Structure 1
Amino acid sequence: MIPAVVLMTLLWSTDLQAQSVSPPAEYSVRLVDGTTSCSGTVEVFYRGEWSGLCNRWLWDMMRDVKVVCREMDCGNPVAVSRGPLNEDGRGGVMMWSCSGDEFSNRWCDIKGGPGVCDGGYYHHVTCSESVRLVDGAGLCSGRVEVKSNQSWVSVCEADFDRQDAEVVCRDVGCGAPAALQGGLYGGGEGQTWDKEFQCKGKESLLLDCDTSDRENNTCLPGNAVRLTCSEPDDVRLVGGGSRCAGGVEWYDQVEWRTVGAEDEDQRNVAAVVCRQLGCGSTVSVQPIKTTRGFLVSCYGSESSLRECERSYDLLPGLTVICSESVRLVDGAGLCSGRVEVKSNQSWASVCEADFDRQDAEVVCRDVGCGAPAALQGGLYGEGEGQIWDKEFQCKGNESLLLDCDTSDRENNICLPGNAVGLTCSEPDDVRLVGGGSRCAGGVEWYHQGEWRIVGTDDRDQRHVAAVVCRQLGCGSTVSALAGNTTRGNGVFCSGSDSSLRECLIMDHLLPGLTVICSDLLVQPDIFLTDPMGGVFRGHQRPEMFRGYNFTITCSTQPQYPGGSFLLTFTGSNRTQIQPAVNHSAAFLFPAADDSHQGNYSCVYDNYVFSHNFSSESELLSLTITASPLPAFIIRHVVVLLILLTTITTSYLYYKPTRRQKRVNRVSSMDLYVNAMEMVSLSSRAEAGPGEERAAQGTE
């Protein structure tokens, strides 16, 4: 197997041959007027002179600065500042864009010449000199490497302690150490540092620390130290009553400045801010109409705001609310993912055995979502960190997970695949009004304590409608039309968003949107009525005796007038149809037999809003069984019971006087004769023609 470093070298050699034998020298970079060889104003050699950079973008994106630090053989980017052109007039003719992965600035997108820029600025960069973090998730995590004899070497875990970590985090411009562990970010390809650091923890730079010879020159594979530092304290949320809620501010050039973002970038910026502050998932993000701040643009995956692009163009400031102590990660949207809680300034997964429905209700509420929809272990992976060592004791009505009691776990083992995954329903902050159904009408969105009209431009109507129908659980979009008289907050969606709050909410007003979804009609009801007046729903799995009649009734809530019911029967693919009268229809079945056994369902059809809609009920499963007694015996028993009741009532009703005794005896005899005639008629009705003739002959 070819080592990675050799393979990379071969690839780069091939790339250089494809582009040119030697990269153009005029794209050389340098840092001038700095205090060290790894700090200073960035200048690029172009057309025979050293030039500064454009002011079109602030050019302090960390992916660009990474390339400069790498080109200067320095460590991590630590800081970037910006100011007007030097008095000698150098610069102002270059525009530069890098991905951050280039080995040299020569392969970045560099443009120059008149008209490229509309003014010049200098950009001052500070890189760490003697230490860097590589192969990590961001600028503040990775394998620790130090500079030794003009090459970078890994540090053995045994030669590195907490005090050393504090100095390294400070040296690379990050916050306090959060985790220290060997082998997490690989073992490195080069040699290992042959000294042991003796830092006191207060030094500003790793170069200021004392060192000593190592007692053991052996560093086993997998023991190269890795370090995760907290993000720098250069971002804050103000005015929201919590460190995880409020207006976004960023510390730049010795002052706190308001952060603004383009409409389509607000959600990405909020995600980075919540991540940098260790504040969990984004609950909401809204522009501040009265406040403006400098422009920030993020992809959403950055570890901190300093890795995003920044410009001094002014845009509305942002108000962000984060969930603070809990987050859902690796899910399909803001309301699904693996449950992680904050523990000792790091995030830990929760074991399924320590989490129940009441806990899920609080988590869904905490992250700004609706009620829990699914709870399952291992659904969204296991995560890389530790397992939460407590068991939640939520009652289900708490607003925040922090408000819940906890207890020690009975079992400290959490088997693989048991990290709990949670899917919450989307929040109830969207509704359709004026259409006679929750799945049709004008779109409104609940924001800042009131329901507001949602508007869109023509090209985005279908995307917004798709998100609304999906969030409401109303199926797919049937139509999306702009309102003529109403105007609302502009919304822009990609169409794949899980809910409207994942879309971009804009300041300007656009025509209100009317949406009709496919699940416009509510689900109809189906029930069976037997001859004795008993009513049975589908989930009750009714039984019916052979020879008895029964009725199946279809009904629906009063939404729209008219329509019809189609009764389908899976036993023989038979269907019957009746118009909906008072929103219902009854289907009569005489003399039940085995052919009636099977599944029935009601389909309600109606023509509304110039479209045909339908909705199907649940299944009603009917079983036909034999009667426990022959029908004629049952009828005889019923008649005799009637006779006995009649005689008893008559006896109690008439007073037994001497004069009336004979009358009572006659009346009782008449009643008895009449009853026997009823029995005889019932018997003849039950008998066949042959049996009836035999009975007549006997008589």
Structure 2
Amino acid sequence: MLSLLPLLVASCLGVAISETQFSVRLKGGTACSGRVEIYVDESWGNVCDDGWSLNAANVVCRQLGCGPAQEAYSSPKFGPGLASDPILISELYCSGQEHSLGECNYKREDTCDHDEDAGVGCAEKYLGIRLVNGPNKCSGRLEVNYNGQWGTVCNDRWDMLDTKVACKELGCSRPISANKCEAFGKGSGPIWLNEVICTGQESTLSECKANTLGAHDCTHAEDVGIECMEPFEVRLADGPNRCSGRLEVFFKHEWGTVCNDDWDLNDAKVVCRELACGHPEHRKALKPMAGMASGRIWLDDVACHGSETSLENCKHRIWGFHDCTHAEDVTVTCTGVQDP
């Protein structure tokens, strides 16, 4: 074990240690829940619960590679430390954004008893999520992998914000629907997650609040099923090269065209940028091409500012609503493939 060589910084709270990361472990529980112990001055010891908070617990959970803190225990829920174990820090104050408890403010004073040992309950680790029994990788019954075993998610409190995070983690686009119970069949085995609460800003479900893994009052009739849009794609079809042709977009597992109502060079500029094809040729960007498409017309009245990175970010009518024929399909000609 590496010895601690801290940089000491004076603070109104006593002495704070910064620019150091010391080891943390949990005892008396699981890998992600237990009594907090830290390694300071070449010995393991406890943390007094004076000033202990959910912010501090979140730092511990992050340092351990677990999910977000569910509880910050200010009593020895997981049993007191040994009488021979030192209580190394007290009056710990964290913002919750630190990467290590060593970045928080605290006092190095042993004024507490072991019945004040701090503990945490973090969301347990899990390896990933998937959708099964759906028509594509972005629709299906939601399953979570924990300790190598796949299980389902209960729909208690599940909503579109939770679905938004799941879609993001899966590499899909925006959510279409949430909580489609039994639409993709009942699962089997464990129900890992329940009472999931996301803000929508998280990158993975593991960052959202939830009950302890495996704690629920559900049946598989309540398994969550979701639908996300597949990743947005555009292409230029039936042209002389990939940077010139009829504009097509992918939606609901099907390629379709774009109507030229209100289409202008700002819109074409976004398409050329998204395809890494340089800039639209002014004289050719709006010129009709020979040949006519068939199938769906997905977009109409597209209105881009020209600075968007994707046509997906531009305003348009609801997908599939239009007053056009394929004689009005947009075509785009770009200057060519951009240099890397």
What TM-score do the two structures reach when normalised by structure 2?
0.37
Q: Name whichever structure is richer in strand by fraction.
A: 1
What TM-score do the two structures reach when normalised by structure 1?
0.19
Larger Cα-atom Rg? 1
Q: Which has the higher contact order (CA 8 A, sep 6+)?
A: 2
